[in-house]
Structure 1
Amino acid sequence: MEGFIKVMLVEDDEFWQKQLALDLNKEEDIQVVKIAATKLEALNSLDSIEIDVVLMDINLTENKLDGLEAAKEITRIKGLKPKVIMLTSLSEQEVIVKAFQNGAVNYITKSNFHDIVKAVRDAYADKSSIHCDAASAMRNELHLMQLSPSEREIYDLREKGFNKTQMSEILHKSVNTIKTQLRSIRDKLQ
Protein backbone atom coordinates (compact mmCIF):
# COMPACT_ATOMS: atom_id res chain seq x y z
CA MET A 1 0.00 0.00 0.00
CA GLU A 2 2.95 2.32 -0.58
CA GLY A 3 1.98 5.64 -2.13
CA PHE A 4 -1.54 5.61 -0.74
CA ILE A 5 -3.02 8.07 1.70
CA LYS A 6 -3.74 5.69 4.56
CA VAL A 7 -7.11 6.39 6.17
CA MET A 8 -8.64 5.07 9.36
CA LEU A 9 -12.40 5.38 9.52
CA VAL A 10 -13.74 5.65 13.08
CA GLU A 11 -17.48 5.12 12.77
CA ASP A 12 -19.95 2.98 14.71
CA ASP A 13 -22.71 2.91 12.08
CA GLU A 14 -22.30 -0.02 9.66
CA PHE A 15 -24.02 1.80 6.79
CA TRP A 16 -21.52 4.66 6.97
CA GLN A 17 -18.61 2.25 7.47
CA LYS A 18 -19.45 0.45 4.24
CA GLN A 19 -20.42 3.52 2.21
CA LEU A 20 -17.40 5.61 3.13
CA ALA A 21 -14.94 2.74 2.76
CA LEU A 22 -16.40 1.91 -0.67
CA ASP A 23 -16.22 5.55 -1.83
CA LEU A 24 -12.69 6.13 -0.53
CA ASN A 25 -11.28 2.85 -1.82
CA LYS A 26 -12.43 3.76 -5.35
CA GLU A 27 -9.81 6.51 -5.36
CA GLU A 28 -6.40 5.63 -6.80
CA ASP A 29 -4.45 7.45 -4.09
CA ILE A 30 -6.54 6.65 -0.98
CA GLN A 31 -6.86 3.39 0.92
CA VAL A 32 -8.95 2.70 4.04
CA VAL A 33 -6.53 0.63 6.11
CA LYS A 34 -8.67 0.35 9.25
CA ILE A 35 -12.29 0.69 10.26
CA ALA A 36 -12.79 1.13 14.00
CA ALA A 37 -16.15 1.31 15.74
CA THR A 38 -14.96 2.64 19.12
CA LYS A 39 -12.54 5.15 20.55
CA LEU A 40 -10.52 2.38 22.21
CA GLU A 41 -10.28 0.35 19.00
CA ALA A 42 -9.08 3.44 17.13
CA LEU A 43 -6.45 4.32 19.73
CA ASN A 44 -5.17 0.73 19.91
CA SER A 45 -4.89 0.59 16.10
CA LEU A 46 -2.44 3.48 16.03
CA ASP A 47 0.21 1.27 17.63
CA SER A 48 0.23 -1.23 14.78
CA ILE A 49 -0.95 0.57 11.64
CA GLU A 50 0.49 3.62 9.91
CA ILE A 51 -2.31 6.18 9.50
CA ASP A 52 -2.17 9.47 7.60
CA VAL A 53 -5.76 10.68 8.02
CA VAL A 54 -8.46 9.74 10.53
CA LEU A 55 -12.11 10.25 9.63
CA MET A 56 -13.76 10.51 13.05
CA ASP A 57 -17.44 10.34 13.92
CA ILE A 58 -18.30 12.41 16.98
CA ASN A 59 -20.85 10.10 18.58
CA LEU A 60 -19.33 6.65 18.87
CA THR A 61 -21.16 5.60 22.01
CA GLU A 62 -24.75 6.64 22.72
CA ASN A 63 -24.46 10.36 21.88
CA LYS A 64 -21.58 10.89 24.30
CA LEU A 65 -19.42 12.97 21.93
CA ASP A 66 -16.55 10.55 22.59
CA GLY A 67 -15.16 11.16 19.12
CA LEU A 68 -14.11 14.61 20.33
CA GLU A 69 -12.04 13.06 23.11
CA ALA A 70 -10.62 10.48 20.71
CA ALA A 71 -9.52 13.26 18.35
CA LYS A 72 -7.77 15.03 21.23
CA GLU A 73 -5.94 11.86 22.26
CA ILE A 74 -4.93 10.94 18.71
CA THR A 75 -3.51 14.36 17.90
CA ARG A 76 -1.49 14.42 21.12
CA ILE A 77 0.28 11.07 20.69
CA LYS A 78 4.01 11.75 20.44
CA GLY A 79 5.62 10.68 17.19
CA LEU A 80 2.34 10.26 15.31
CA LYS A 81 1.00 12.90 13.01
CA PRO A 82 -2.35 11.68 11.68
CA LYS A 83 -4.70 14.45 10.60
CA VAL A 84 -8.18 14.16 12.08
CA ILE A 85 -11.26 15.15 10.09
CA MET A 86 -14.52 15.10 11.99
CA LEU A 87 -17.37 13.50 10.04
CA THR A 88 -20.71 13.73 11.77
CA SER A 89 -24.36 14.65 11.57
CA LEU A 90 -23.93 17.34 14.26
CA SER A 91 -23.79 20.99 13.28
CA GLU A 92 -23.90 22.84 16.62
CA GLN A 93 -21.34 25.64 16.93
CA GLU A 94 -20.05 24.46 20.34
CA VAL A 95 -19.33 20.98 18.96
CA ILE A 96 -17.59 22.36 15.88
CA VAL A 97 -15.40 24.69 17.93
CA LYS A 98 -14.56 21.90 20.40
CA ALA A 99 -13.55 19.63 17.51
CA PHE A 100 -10.98 22.17 16.31
CA GLN A 101 -9.81 22.82 19.89
CA ASN A 102 -9.22 19.08 20.18
CA GLY A 103 -6.98 18.99 17.12
CA ALA A 104 -9.27 18.36 14.15
CA VAL A 105 -8.09 19.90 10.89
CA ASN A 106 -11.53 19.87 9.28
CA TYR A 107 -15.19 19.23 10.07
CA ILE A 108 -17.73 17.89 7.59
CA THR A 109 -21.32 16.88 8.13
CA LYS A 110 -22.44 13.55 6.71
CA SER A 111 -24.89 15.33 4.43
CA ASN A 112 -21.77 16.57 2.58
CA PHE A 113 -19.92 13.23 2.58
CA HIS A 114 -19.21 13.74 -1.13
CA ASP A 115 -16.60 16.33 -0.05
CA ILE A 116 -14.62 13.79 1.99
CA VAL A 117 -12.19 12.78 -0.78
CA LYS A 118 -11.02 16.36 -1.29
CA ALA A 119 -10.82 16.89 2.49
CA VAL A 120 -8.66 13.78 2.91
CA ARG A 121 -6.28 14.92 0.17
CA ASP A 122 -6.13 18.47 1.59
CA ALA A 123 -5.42 17.19 5.12
CA TYR A 124 -2.71 14.87 3.86
CA ALA A 125 -1.09 17.75 1.94
CA ASP A 126 -1.29 20.04 5.00
CA LYS A 127 -3.65 22.40 3.21
CA SER A 128 -5.66 24.38 5.71
CA SER A 129 -9.04 24.32 4.06
CA ILE A 130 -12.00 24.39 6.43
CA HIS A 131 -15.19 22.95 5.00
CA CYS A 132 -18.16 25.30 4.69
CA ASP A 133 -19.99 23.17 7.31
CA ALA A 134 -17.56 24.54 9.91
CA ALA A 135 -16.48 27.89 8.47
CA SER A 136 -19.44 29.91 9.73
CA ALA A 137 -19.13 28.57 13.27
CA MET A 138 -15.40 29.27 13.31
CA ARG A 139 -15.86 32.82 11.96
CA ASN A 140 -18.49 33.44 14.61
CA GLU A 141 -16.23 32.07 17.34
CA LEU A 142 -13.37 34.32 16.20
CA HIS A 143 -15.75 37.27 16.29
CA LEU A 144 -16.77 36.39 19.85
CA MET A 145 -13.14 36.22 20.99
CA GLN A 146 -13.14 40.00 21.34
CA LEU A 147 -15.48 39.66 24.34
CA SER A 148 -14.04 39.48 27.84
CA PRO A 149 -14.72 36.24 29.75
CA SER A 150 -17.42 38.02 31.75
CA GLU A 151 -19.05 39.39 28.59
CA ARG A 152 -18.88 35.97 26.96
CA GLU A 153 -20.69 34.47 29.94
CA ILE A 154 -23.47 37.04 29.56
CA TYR A 155 -23.56 36.58 25.78
CA ASP A 156 -23.98 32.82 26.20
CA LEU A 157 -26.78 33.28 28.74
CA ARG A 158 -28.54 35.72 26.41
CA GLU A 159 -28.25 33.19 23.56
CA LYS A 160 -29.92 30.62 25.82
CA GLY A 161 -32.86 32.99 26.33
CA PHE A 162 -32.19 34.35 29.81
CA ASN A 163 -33.37 37.89 30.56
CA LYS A 164 -31.39 40.56 32.48
CA THR A 165 -32.98 39.73 35.83
CA GLN A 166 -32.29 36.02 35.45
CA MET A 167 -28.69 36.72 34.39
CA SER A 168 -28.31 39.00 37.40
CA GLU A 169 -29.41 36.20 39.72
CA ILE A 170 -27.28 33.52 38.04
CA LEU A 171 -24.12 35.64 37.93
CA HIS A 172 -24.67 37.48 41.25
CA LYS A 173 -24.37 40.87 39.55
CA SER A 174 -26.67 43.86 39.60
CA VAL A 175 -29.13 44.34 36.75
CA ASN A 176 -27.34 47.63 35.95
CA THR A 177 -24.04 45.78 35.57
CA ILE A 178 -25.72 43.29 33.25
CA LYS A 179 -27.19 46.16 31.19
CA THR A 180 -23.78 47.84 30.93
CA GLN A 181 -22.13 44.62 29.81
CA LEU A 182 -24.87 43.92 27.27
CA ARG A 183 -24.25 47.39 25.79
CA SER A 184 -20.54 46.67 25.63
CA ILE A 185 -21.22 43.34 23.93
CA ARG A 186 -23.50 44.99 21.38
CA ASP A 187 -20.88 47.67 20.64
CA LYS A 188 -18.12 45.10 20.15
CA LEU A 189 -20.16 42.79 17.92
CA GLN A 190 -21.64 45.39 15.59
Structure 2
Amino acid sequence: MDNRTEIGDRQISVGVVENDESYIEKIRSMLSELSMVREVRCWTSAEEYWRDRNGQKLDVLLLDIKLPGMDGVELAGRVTVRNPDISIIMLSNLNSDNLIFQALRNGAIGYILKAELRDLGETLQTVLSGGATITPTIAFRVLTSFRKSNPILEARLTEREKQILELMVSGKTIARVADVLGVSVNTVNHHAKSIYRKLNVHNRTELARKAAAAGLLDV
Protein backbone atom coordinates (compact mmCIF):
# COMPACT_ATOMS: atom_id res chain seq x y z
CA MET A 1 0.00 0.00 0.00
CA ASP A 2 1.32 3.46 -0.95
CA ASN A 3 1.48 5.52 2.23
CA ARG A 4 2.75 8.69 0.62
CA THR A 5 0.74 11.83 1.22
CA GLU A 6 -1.71 12.61 -1.58
CA ILE A 7 -1.85 16.37 -2.13
CA GLY A 8 -2.73 16.71 -5.78
CA ASP A 9 -2.53 15.16 -9.25
CA ARG A 10 0.20 17.38 -10.63
CA GLN A 11 3.73 16.03 -10.39
CA ILE A 12 6.53 18.51 -10.00
CA SER A 13 10.30 18.78 -9.95
CA VAL A 14 11.83 20.24 -6.79
CA GLY A 15 15.38 21.52 -6.40
CA VAL A 16 17.35 22.03 -3.20
CA VAL A 17 20.44 24.23 -2.85
CA GLU A 18 21.89 23.59 0.60
CA ASN A 19 25.46 23.08 1.79
CA ASP A 20 24.49 20.98 4.82
CA GLU A 21 24.24 17.43 3.47
CA SER A 22 22.43 16.13 6.54
CA TYR A 23 19.75 18.77 6.03
CA ILE A 24 19.53 17.83 2.36
CA GLU A 25 18.76 14.27 3.40
CA LYS A 26 16.10 15.51 5.80
CA ILE A 27 14.40 17.42 2.99
CA ARG A 28 14.75 14.46 0.61
CA SER A 29 13.01 12.26 3.15
CA MET A 30 10.15 14.74 3.57
CA LEU A 31 9.72 15.15 -0.18
CA SER A 32 9.75 11.39 -0.76
CA GLU A 33 6.46 11.22 1.15
CA LEU A 34 4.72 13.48 -1.34
CA SER A 35 3.10 11.90 -4.37
CA MET A 36 3.12 15.18 -6.25
CA VAL A 37 6.95 15.27 -6.26
CA ARG A 38 8.24 13.57 -9.37
CA GLU A 39 11.94 14.22 -8.77
CA VAL A 40 14.30 15.96 -6.39
CA ARG A 41 17.59 17.50 -7.52
CA CYS A 42 20.17 18.78 -5.05
CA TRP A 43 23.19 21.05 -5.20
CA THR A 44 25.57 22.09 -2.42
CA SER A 45 26.45 25.57 -3.74
CA ALA A 46 24.87 28.35 -5.74
CA GLU A 47 27.62 28.11 -8.36
CA GLU A 48 27.06 24.37 -8.81
CA TYR A 49 23.35 24.96 -9.30
CA TRP A 50 23.84 27.86 -11.70
CA ARG A 51 26.09 25.82 -14.01
CA ASP A 52 23.68 22.87 -14.19
CA ARG A 53 21.12 23.23 -16.98
CA ASN A 54 18.83 20.84 -15.10
CA GLY A 55 18.35 23.62 -12.58
CA GLN A 56 16.29 25.50 -15.15
CA LYS A 57 13.69 22.72 -15.35
CA LEU A 58 12.38 23.02 -11.80
CA ASP A 59 8.95 23.96 -10.55
CA VAL A 60 10.11 24.84 -7.03
CA LEU A 61 13.54 25.72 -5.64
CA LEU A 62 14.26 25.40 -1.92
CA LEU A 63 17.20 27.69 -1.37
CA ASP A 64 19.44 28.11 1.67
CA ILE A 65 20.00 31.80 2.29
CA LYS A 66 23.57 31.42 3.60
CA LEU A 67 25.83 29.54 1.19
CA PRO A 68 29.59 29.52 0.61
CA GLY A 69 30.50 31.78 -2.31
CA MET A 70 27.40 33.28 -3.91
CA ASP A 71 24.69 33.46 -1.26
CA GLY A 72 21.06 32.48 -1.60
CA VAL A 73 19.79 36.05 -1.83
CA GLU A 74 21.92 36.77 -4.90
CA LEU A 75 21.03 33.42 -6.48
CA ALA A 76 17.32 34.10 -5.94
CA GLY A 77 17.65 37.31 -7.93
CA ARG A 78 19.47 35.57 -10.77
CA VAL A 79 16.95 32.74 -10.94
CA THR A 80 14.05 35.19 -10.95
CA VAL A 81 15.50 36.93 -14.00
CA ARG A 82 16.51 33.79 -15.90
CA ASN A 83 13.66 31.47 -14.90
CA PRO A 84 10.75 33.54 -13.54
CA ASP A 85 8.42 30.51 -13.51
CA ILE A 86 10.43 28.78 -10.78
CA SER A 87 8.89 29.33 -7.34
CA ILE A 88 11.65 30.15 -4.86
CA ILE A 89 11.36 29.34 -1.15
CA MET A 90 14.17 30.53 1.10
CA LEU A 91 15.37 28.33 3.96
CA SER A 92 17.28 29.94 6.80
CA ASN A 93 18.44 29.74 10.39
CA LEU A 94 18.45 33.54 10.41
CA ASN A 95 15.55 35.92 10.96
CA SER A 96 17.36 39.11 10.03
CA ASP A 97 14.91 41.72 8.73
CA ASN A 98 17.47 42.83 6.15
CA LEU A 99 17.94 39.33 4.73
CA ILE A 100 14.21 38.69 4.71
CA PHE A 101 13.44 41.79 2.67
CA GLN A 102 16.40 41.30 0.34
CA ALA A 103 15.23 37.76 -0.44
CA LEU A 104 11.63 38.84 -1.04
CA ARG A 105 12.75 41.75 -3.23
CA ASN A 106 14.84 39.31 -5.26
CA GLY A 107 11.82 37.20 -6.12
CA ALA A 108 11.42 34.66 -3.31
CA ILE A 109 7.76 33.86 -2.53
CA GLY A 110 8.52 31.97 0.64
CA TYR A 111 10.77 32.36 3.66
CA ILE A 112 10.90 29.53 6.18
CA LEU A 113 13.07 29.09 9.24
CA LYS A 114 14.72 25.68 9.07
CA ALA A 115 13.69 24.82 12.60
CA GLU A 116 10.06 25.43 11.64
CA LEU A 117 10.04 23.47 8.37
CA ARG A 118 7.38 20.82 8.92
CA ASP A 119 4.60 20.43 6.37
CA LEU A 120 6.37 20.63 3.02
CA GLY A 121 3.29 19.29 1.26
CA GLU A 122 1.18 22.24 2.35
CA THR A 123 4.01 24.62 1.55
CA LEU A 124 4.37 23.33 -2.00
CA GLN A 125 0.63 23.30 -2.54
CA THR A 126 0.43 26.94 -1.44
CA VAL A 127 3.12 28.26 -3.77
CA LEU A 128 1.94 26.19 -6.74
CA SER A 129 -1.53 27.61 -6.23
CA GLY A 130 -0.16 31.10 -6.61
CA GLY A 131 0.26 31.89 -2.94
CA ALA A 132 3.20 32.79 -0.73
CA THR A 133 4.41 31.00 2.37
CA ILE A 134 6.21 32.62 5.27
CA THR A 135 7.00 31.13 8.67
CA PRO A 136 4.57 32.71 11.18
CA THR A 137 7.36 34.29 13.24
CA ILE A 138 8.83 35.80 10.06
CA ALA A 139 5.41 37.01 8.89
CA PHE A 140 5.00 38.86 12.17
CA ARG A 141 8.36 40.57 11.71
CA VAL A 142 7.42 41.58 8.15
CA LEU A 143 4.12 43.10 9.29
CA THR A 144 5.80 44.88 12.20
CA SER A 145 8.42 46.31 9.89
CA PHE A 146 5.79 47.63 7.49
CA ARG A 147 4.02 49.33 10.38
CA LYS A 148 7.25 50.95 11.50
CA SER A 149 8.38 52.06 8.07
CA ASN A 150 5.10 53.05 6.41
CA PRO A 151 6.31 55.66 3.91
CA ILE A 152 3.06 57.60 4.03
CA LEU A 153 3.40 58.09 7.79
CA GLU A 154 7.10 58.93 7.65
CA ALA A 155 7.10 61.18 4.60
CA ARG A 156 7.45 64.55 6.27
CA LEU A 157 9.65 66.22 3.71
CA THR A 158 10.35 69.91 3.33
CA GLU A 159 9.77 71.56 -0.06
CA ARG A 160 13.52 71.60 -0.71
CA GLU A 161 13.76 67.89 0.16
CA LYS A 162 10.92 67.13 -2.25
CA GLN A 163 12.77 68.99 -5.01
CA ILE A 164 15.93 67.02 -4.33
CA LEU A 165 13.96 63.77 -4.13
CA GLU A 166 12.45 64.34 -7.59
CA LEU A 167 15.87 65.05 -9.10
CA MET A 168 17.55 62.07 -7.41
CA VAL A 169 14.83 59.65 -8.48
CA SER A 170 15.12 60.94 -12.05
CA GLY A 171 18.70 59.65 -12.04
CA LYS A 172 20.68 62.84 -11.47
CA THR A 173 23.88 62.65 -9.45
CA ILE A 174 24.33 64.65 -6.27
CA ALA A 175 26.65 67.01 -8.14
CA ARG A 176 24.08 67.51 -10.91
CA VAL A 177 21.31 68.13 -8.37
CA ALA A 178 23.48 70.78 -6.73
CA ASP A 179 24.10 72.39 -10.12
CA VAL A 180 20.38 72.43 -11.05
CA LEU A 181 19.35 73.97 -7.73
CA GLY A 182 22.30 76.34 -7.48
CA VAL A 183 23.44 75.05 -4.10
CA SER A 184 26.55 73.30 -2.82
CA VAL A 185 27.15 69.57 -2.96
CA ASN A 186 27.39 69.53 0.83
CA THR A 187 23.92 71.07 1.07
CA VAL A 188 22.45 68.44 -1.24
CA ASN A 189 24.18 65.66 0.70
CA HIS A 190 22.73 67.03 3.94
CA HIS A 191 19.20 67.01 2.50
CA ALA A 192 19.69 63.58 0.90
CA LYS A 193 20.66 62.07 4.25
CA SER A 194 17.55 63.59 5.79
CA ILE A 195 15.36 62.15 3.01
CA TYR A 196 16.84 58.66 3.40
CA ARG A 197 16.32 58.82 7.15
CA LYS A 198 12.72 60.04 6.93
CA LEU A 199 11.76 57.39 4.39
CA ASN A 200 13.84 54.70 6.11
CA VAL A 201 15.64 53.63 2.92
CA HIS A 202 19.24 52.80 2.08
CA ASN A 203 19.56 53.14 -1.70
CA ARG A 204 17.95 54.88 -4.65
CA THR A 205 15.87 51.86 -5.68
CA GLU A 206 14.19 51.75 -2.29
CA LEU A 207 13.91 55.54 -2.34
CA ALA A 208 12.02 55.54 -5.64
CA ARG A 209 9.70 52.73 -4.54
CA LYS A 210 8.77 54.30 -1.21
CA ALA A 211 8.46 57.80 -2.62
CA ALA A 212 6.08 56.53 -5.30
CA ALA A 213 4.04 54.60 -2.73
CA ALA A 214 3.72 57.75 -0.63
CA GLY A 215 2.59 59.82 -3.59
CA LEU A 216 5.63 62.09 -3.39
CA LEU A 217 6.54 61.92 -7.09
CA ASP A 218 4.88 63.96 -9.81
CA VAL A 219 4.42 61.08 -12.26
**TM-score if structure 2 supplies the norm length?**
0.61
* Separation of aligned partners in 2, 1:106 and 1:50: 19
Q: Which amino acid in 1 is paired with 2:118? A: H
Q: Deviations over 1:143-188 (max 9, x none)?
A: 267434856854899xxxxxxxxxxxxxxxxxxxxxxxxxxxxxxx
Alignment correspondent of 2:170: none
1:131 aligns with 2:138: no
- Structure 1 unaligned runs (5+)? 158-190
Deviation at 1:139, TM superposition (A): 1.2
Q: Which amino acid in 1 is paired with 2:40? A: V
C-alpha contact 1:68 1:98 (8 A) present in aligned 2: yes
Larger Rg: 2
Alignment of 1:38-187 (within 5 A): 38-47=45-54, 50-61=57-68, 66-77=71-82, 80-143=84-147, 146-148=153-155, 154=197
Q: Which amino acid in 2 is paired with 1:35? A: C
Deviation at 1:134, TM superposition (A): 2.3
Q: Which amino acid in 2 is paired with 1:14? A: E
Q: Which amino acid in 1 is paired with 2:71? A: D
Deviation at 1:11, TM superposition (A): 0.4
Matched residue pairs, number?
153
Could you say what secondary structure the match of 1:8 adopts?
strand
* Separation of aligned partners in 2, 1:46 and 1:138: 34
CA gap of 1:150–1:118, structure 2 versus 1, over 3 A, is farther
Q: CA RMSD in A?
A: 2.8
Alignment correspondent of 1:187: none
- Structure 2 unaligned runs (5+)? 1-8, 156-191, 201-219
Q: Which moved more, 1:106-115 or 1:148-157?
A: 148-157
Q: Which amino acid in 2 is paired with 1:134? A: I
Could you say what secondary structure the match of 1:76 adopts?
helix
Q: Deviations over 1:46-90 (max 9, x none)?
A: 4565200000001111xx771000011001115x51000001101
CA gap of 1:59–1:48, structure 2 versus 1, over 3 A, is closer
Deviation at 1:22, TM superposition (A): 0.9
Q: Which amino acid in 1 is paired with 2:80? A: T
Alignment correspondent of 1:24: 31
**TM-score if structure 1 supplies the norm length?**
0.69
* Separation of aligned partners in 2, 1:48 and 1:91: 27
Could you say what secondary structure the match of 1:114 adopts?
coil
* Separation of aligned partners in 1, 2:12 and 2:196: 42
C-alpha contact 1:97 1:137 (8 A) present in aligned 2: no
Deviation at 1:114, TM superposition (A): 0.4
Aligned residues: percent identity?
23
